[in-house]
Amino acid sequence: MVTSAYILIKTASGFEKKILSTLKEFGSIENADLVYGLYDIILKVSINSSEELDSFIFDVLRPMEGIVETMTCIIAPEK
């Protein structure tokens, strides 16, 4: 079952555009936008499992230079 989520990313000043450009290369990212407010980037991702989502967040996103904080909002299934 595909897991979809919004991931909000806070970056260090000056890293926003570089991180956004890098993230747009990942196939699992449906949409990536710079935003104003508490967070700098919002991603919408679709990933095959919660384990892959964990791996993407902990092994790809958080170690990336310039990423200060992430918040993940898993999309609830419609019924």
30: containing domain: 3-74
Asked whether residue 50 is domain-assigned, the answer is: yes
Per-residue pLDDT at 79 = 74
Asked whether residue 59 is domain-assigned, the answer is: yes
Quote the tokens at residue 60.
């790809």
| Tens-digit pLDDT profile for residues 37-69 | 999 999 999 999 889 999 999 999 999 999 999
* Across 20-38, average pLDDT: 94
Number of domains into which the chain is organized: 1
What number of other Cβ atoms are within 10 A of residue 17's Cβ? 12
- The yes-or-no verdict on residue 73 having pLDDT over 90 is yes
Distances (CA, A) of 54 to 5, 14, 58, 61: 11, 26, 6, 10
- Phi, psi dihedrals of residue 38, rounded to the nearest 5°: -65, -30
Are 29 and 45 spatial neighbours (Cβ–Cβ below 8 Å)?
A: yes
User: Residue 38 is part of a domain; what is its CATH number?
Assistant: 3.30.70.920
Nearest to residue 61, comparing CAs of 14, 9, 4, 3?
Answer: 9
**pTM to 2 decimal places:** 0.92
Per-residue pLDDT at 78 = 80
Asked whether residue 79 is domain-assigned, the answer is: no
